[in-house]
């Protein structure tokens, strides 16, 4: 039955961005409210109304050593969220949950059903569902859209309605109007993703130091994709490099020190990755999208990452992502090695495409909500 009034629940900036893109593509006949349970929900600004109480956790949803304790001391903020669900969720025709299982658990605890659960967290390669999670999904979600076929098979075996229709993060690769080919001058190109969290400047410092150590870097085109335009000035200040402003966003100009030049843009991940041979990345979703676009990623684990988180990241990526120590010299060696080996780049790129899968989840959601 077609939906007239929809509540979307998401849990974190990356999940908010995916959910906001779903809203943009939905028919205007569907009235949508978004409930971003963690953070300010900026991805929804100008897209749809935001409802529900905000949760602001010390970890920002990024699970590192000690973060769970710090979030617990902050109270997790779950009680106001459950109060909202009990009072307001009944006013919607359907609920769409995007992200991890928190939104589904909130529905279960308050007696609501999720018409669709779009899981962008679990992976059959590194993080299958536990029995407790299967219990909740079976009693709460009408349809689960998984991020790979392995998970769909696991849920189907447990008699849960699930399918793999494509990977939502590949539906949301930003394209923009930036054309990196205008700046291509050399045989090889590198894409740099500094990330978007508080560690942006620290990550970039290591990446830049590594690039400077790559033999012949003067003959390589380097592109950096930034989360927001303001990051260009921040990186210039932190690195001491000269910022040559761009004429019009999304072209943010270039950072240069006379040896390394980084062409800067925002909202342009797709074309930059397509124009590059390898990716030096500390982004979260952006790293996964780069792998899905068939380019090998070189990165280091975030400082303070738990052993479990590191193992899961490595299992998910396989050889599509080359993890190095947080050391410029080690990273530089990996960059030079991959630039010199087109066969290894192709091998790793093929693995990334297979692990991430094709787009298709968002069209499947729209079809489900409008049929």
pLDDT in tens, 194-216: 987 778 899 999 999 999 999 99
Give residue 55's pLDDT.
67
Peptide bond into 315 cis (omega under 30): no
The pLDDT of residue 76 is 43
**Which residues 6+ apart lie within 8 Å of 42 measured at CB?**
13, 16
Q: Which pLDDT does position 98 carry in this prediction?
A: 97
Query: Where are any strands of DSSP class E within the chain?
Result: 5-10, 31-36, 94-99, 116-119, 144-145, 162-163, 188-193, 220-226, 242-244, 251-256, 261-266, 278-281, 297-300, 321-324
Q: Give residue 196's pLDDT.
A: 77
Tokens of 177: 């109007």
pTM above 0.85, yes or no: yes
User: Which stretches of the chain drop beneath a pLDDT of 70?
Assistant: 55-77
Quick one: pLDDT at residue 307?
85
The pLDDT value given to residue 272: 98
pLDDT of residue 309: 81
> Can you tell me the distance from the alpha carbon of 82 to that of 77, in angstroms, rounded to the nearest whole number?
9
Query: Could you report the per-residue pLDDT of 53-63, keeping only the tens digit for each?
Result: 876 544 444 44
Place of tokens 């929809």: 6
Coil/strand/helix, residue 163? strand
Residue 311 CA to residue 251 CA, distance in Å, equals 37
For residue 249, the Cα-to-chain-centroid distance in whole angstroms is 22
> What pLDDT score does 337 carry?
98
Q: Chain-centre distance of CA 224, in angstroms?
A: 17
Buried b or exposed e, range 108-130, using 16+ CB within 10 angstroms: bebebebbbbbbbbbbbbbeebe
Q: Is 214 left (phi over 0), alpha (psi -120 to 50) or beta?
A: beta
């Amino acid at each position: 039955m077609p939906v007239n009034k929809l509540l979307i629940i998401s849990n974190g900036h990356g999940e908010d961005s995916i959910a906001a893109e779903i809203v943009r593509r939905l028919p205007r006949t569907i009235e949508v409210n978004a409930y971003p349970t963690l953070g300010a929900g900026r991805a929804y600004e100008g897209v749809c109304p935001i409802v529900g109480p905000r949760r602001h956790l010390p970890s920002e949803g990024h699970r590192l050593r000690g973060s769970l304790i710090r979030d617990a001391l902050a109270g997790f903020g779950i009680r106001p969220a459950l109060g909202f669900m009990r009072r307001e969720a009944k006013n919607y025709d359907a609920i769409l949950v995007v992200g991890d299982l928190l939104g589904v658990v909130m529905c279960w605890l308050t007696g609501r059903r999720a018409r669709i659960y779009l899981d962008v967290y679990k992976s059959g390669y590194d993080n299958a569902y536990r029995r407790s999670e299967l219990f909740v999904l079976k009693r709460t979600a009408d349809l689960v859209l998984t991020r790979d076929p392995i998970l769909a098979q696991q849920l189907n075996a447990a008699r849960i309605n699930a399918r793999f229709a494509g990977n939502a993060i590949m539906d949301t690769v930003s394209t923009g109007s930036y054309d990196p080919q205008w700046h291509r001058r050399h045989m090889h190109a590198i894409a740099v993703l500094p990330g978007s969290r508080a560690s942006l400047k620290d990550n970039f410092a290591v990446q830049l130091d590594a690039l400077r150590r790559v033999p012949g870097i003067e003959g390589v085109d380097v592109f950096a994709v930034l989360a927001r335009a303001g990051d260009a000035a921040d990186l210039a200040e932190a690195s001491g490099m000269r910022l040559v402003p761009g004429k019009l966003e999304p072209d943010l100009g270039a950072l240069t020190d006379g040896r390394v030049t980084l062409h800067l843009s925002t909202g342009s991940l797709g074309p930059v990755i397509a124009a590059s041979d390898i990716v030096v990345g500390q982004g979260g979703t952006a790293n996964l999208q780069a792998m899905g676009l068939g380019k090998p990623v070189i990165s280091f684990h975030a400082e303070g990452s738990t052993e479990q988180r590191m193992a899961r990241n490595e299992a998910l990526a396989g050889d599509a992502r080359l993890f190095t120590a947080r050391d410029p010299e080690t990273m530089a060696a990996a960059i030079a090695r991959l630039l010199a080996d087109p066969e290894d780049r192709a091998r790793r790129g093929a693995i990334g495409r297979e692990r991430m899968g094709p787009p298709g989840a968002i069209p499947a959601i729209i079809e489900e909500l409008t049929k």
